[in-house]
Amino acid sequence: MTRRARAALAVVVALVLVGAGWAVVAVVLARSSVVVVVEPGLTLREVAAQLSRDEGTPFAQAFLGDATRAAAVSPYRPAGSLEGLIGPGRYVVTPSESPGQFLDALMGGFAREARATGLTPSTTVDGLNAYQVVIAASIVQKEGYYARNMPKVARVILNRLARGGPLQMDSTVLYALGRDGGVVTHAMLETRTPYNTYLNDGLTPTPICAVSDTALTAVLHAPPGPWLYFTVVNQRGDEAFAATFAQQLANERRLATSGVP
């Protein structure tokens, strides 16, 4: 039973217990809605999983199909996927709303976010086109996690792209495996996918998640700096940044003594 169905059943029982007529019940049910929360960092499939619980599997599958078709007409010219081009936020899904209408709302949310940060389909930053900016921002979203880390993480990514070679970002490896967080094993790093930034140079083919305005702004206005490495150094999630591998090793030693599991 979907969440909407459970909620509807509870409403029916409550109204019947207080003596409401069936006409009243019908009106209340027609107005019932569910709220879908799209957090920064969520993937399209994670949003679809919410929809499956709330609206049922057919609704969720239709949503994914609509997203694939919408990618073909996006002004950002995505690589066959609408991943990363949906706006975070709280969305109310009414009983009469179709999967396509819900997707339109998500795309509208991204359009508003893009306008607020100054991103347009013609934007270029440090040699990146607008779609590549969104890809980079999605990696910043996952790797920085907290807003305070994101600007310098963006600079690391831009510096590595300018240097050439692999980005070596764990979040991209996990994305291809359908995972979010956790330990990245040697076997995972050796898994050949287009999203493995240890085995492939440059950015991933598509974004890896929905992005916050903070992550977008971090890429659009990354602070100057020589950093090429970063690592978490304490239980608060603070990240330390380094310009040399020797400095990175020193930061990793800080991590080893911080108590972070």
User: Residue 224, Cβ neighbours under 10 Å: how many?
Assistant: 6
Which H or E run includes 238? Answer: none
**Run of H or E residues at 240:** strand 239-242
78 domain residue, yes or no? no
DSSP state of 113: H
pTM for the model: 0.86
Which domain does 14 fall in, by range?
1-32
| CA pair distance 139, 209, nearest whole angstrom | 8
The answer to whether residue 187 is domain-embedded is: yes
Alpha-carbon gap, residue 209 to 46, rounded angstroms: 9
* 72 within domain boundaries: no
Q: Contact, 251 vs 242, CB < 8 A?
A: yes
Residue 14 lies in a domain: yes
DSSP letter at 242 equals E
Sequential DSSP letters for 21-90:
-HHHHHHHHHH--EEEEE-TT--HHHHHHHHHHHH-HHHHHHHHHHHHHHHTT-TT--SS--TT-S--EE
CA distance 153 to 75: 27
Could you give the number of structural domains in the chain?
A: 2
Please give the pLDDT value at position 14.
40
Tens-of-pLDDT digits for all 261 residues of the chain?
Answer: 555 445 444 433 343 444 544 444 344 344 468 899 999 999 999 999 999 999 999 999 999 999 999 999 999 999 889 999 999 999 999 999 999 999 999 999 999 999 999 999 999 999 999 999 999 999 999 999 999 999 999 999 999 999 999 999 999 999 999 998 888 999 999 999 999 999 999 999 999 999 999 999 999 999 999 999 999 988 889 999 999 999 999 988 877 776 665
